[in-house]
Amino acid sequence: MSDIGIDFPVWAAPLLIGLLYWPFLLVAAAILAGVAMLVHGWPRAGLFALATIAVLPCLMVLVMDAVSEVHSIASRQAYARTHQTLSAPLSIQGLNLPAGTAVEWADERHQAVASVELPGPTALLGTTLTGKLEDVSSRWWSGTLAADARLEGWPCRAGDVWLSHEGRPMRCTLAGDSEQQGLEIPAGSEVALAATGQLQDLRLPPDRTMGLPSIGATLPGGGSLFLRPDGAIERAYVPEPGVLQLGDAALRFEVRWVYPETSHPSASVPAQATAVRGDLAEDAAINGIPVRAGSLVTVELASHAVRVTPSR
């Protein structure tokens, strides 16, 4: 049995009785009132009292229905004040919205758009969008590309897309292979871009791999890559059953690039990593010593030498 206690207010019991048995209560009240009309003295008063008691749960139901209807009317009025279907074109927040667009306003002053539902494929923000376009945290637009499109050199697939308020791509799924920042990114990858337009992170589709020339390894399908502001790789995530093979070491889960302490992420020229650090994907012998899978190791890029690293 459940040990969760559920407490109801006192008035909930007659309300529930009224909801479930109101036809019987009304019939009982009518019978009691009819009989009361035929008698005199205290029996009449008692019967009328019983009829009143029988009617009270029904009255509570009527009152609750009335309150609910009042709230419903208020909600519909509030909705109407913040939702509008345009009868004429409107230009706002860098959007040229056509007639027929369903607009959700951020407030009743109609000074900012929260989201719009486009009447069909519409030229907006330098591309063609369709469906719902939503202003997320007043930072970017989340929408749907009506067709494959090339956005600032990125071949984006029809479907979900994030665009800056100026129309720059921020996140999309690639419709074709793309070479960017020294990486051959396969079609189907989801890419995210920084405000500068540089690649910020990506996630591969399950059926495609990607070479990592800077370390001479291959990121397996479904893996993710995260870059620093200077364009250098910060870390990768390798889900099972894939591994990142580097020399004799097979790594999985979070793999971090190790840089010299003098390198700065904000530098204009990407820093050069000296090693990568991650969890062993399988048992291995390191310098003749057995090491269990899951142990944290560091692999030197120049020599592929492997050493066990103290836990984070």
- Predicted confidence (pLDDT) per residue in 281-298, tens digit: 887 777 777 878 888 888
User: 136-139 long-range CB contacts below 8 Å, 24 or more apart?
Assistant: 136/162, 138/112, 139/165
pLDDT at 54 over 70: no
Stretch 70-93: mean pLDDT: 79
pLDDT at 6 over 70: no
First to last CA, the chain: 44
Burial of 97 by CB count in 10 Å (0-12 exposed, 13-18 middle, 19+ buried)? buried
Same domain, 55 and 97: no
CB atoms < 10 A from the CB of 187, how many?
14
Same domain, 159 and 226: no
Rounded distance, CA 254 to CA 275, Å? 14
Rounded distance, CA 278 to CA 269, Å? 25
Confidence (pLDDT) at 172: 95
Same domain, 232 and 310: yes
- Whether 6 is covered by a domain: the verdict is no
- Whether 275 is covered by a domain: the verdict is yes
Rounded distance, CA 92 to CA 112, Å? 8
Considering only residues 65 and 188, tell me which one the structure prediction assigns the higher pLDDT. 188
Per cent of the chain over pLDDT 70 is 83
Number of domains composing the chain: 3
- Closest by Cα among 245, 244, 171, 167 to 203: 171
pLDDT at 2 over 60: no
- Closest by Cα among 82, 81, 99 to 90: 99
Which of 197, 229, 248 is at the close of a domain? 197
Same domain, 90 and 144: yes
Same domain, 74 and 49: yes
Highest mean pLDDT among 11-15, 139-143, 158-162: 158-162
- Whether 204 is covered by a domain: the verdict is no
Query: Rounded to two decimals, what is the model's pTM?
Result: 0.72
Model confidence pLDDT, tens digit, residues 12-28: 566 566 556 567 666 77
Stretch 113-138: mean pLDDT: 90
- Whether 38 is covered by a domain: the verdict is yes
pLDDT at 1 over 50: no
Confidence band (pLDDT; 50, 70, 90) for 137?
Answer: confident
Which of 33, 54, 81 is at the close of a domain? 81
Same domain, 66 and 144: no
Model confidence pLDDT, tens digit, residues 200-241: 999 999 999 999 998 889 999 999 999 998 888 999 999 988
* Averaged pLDDT score across all residues of the chain: 82
Which of 197, 221, 250 is at the close of a domain? 197
- Whether 3 is covered by a domain: the verdict is no
Q: Comparing 23-27, 80-84, 138-142, 147-151, which segment has the lowest mean pLDDT?
A: 23-27
Considering only residues 186 and 303, tell me which one the structure prediction assigns the higher pLDDT. 186
- Its domain, for residue 97, covers 86-197
Model confidence pLDDT, tens digit, residues 251-290: 999 999 988 876 555 555 667 888 889 988 887 777 777 8
- Whether 2 is covered by a domain: the verdict is no
Rounded distance, CA 269 to CA 85, Å? 50
Rounded distance, CA 150 to CA 161, Å? 12
Same domain, 309 and 224: yes
Please provide residue 78's backbone torsions phi and psi, each rounded to the nearest 5 degrees: -65, -40
223 contacts 246 by C-beta, under 8 angstroms: no
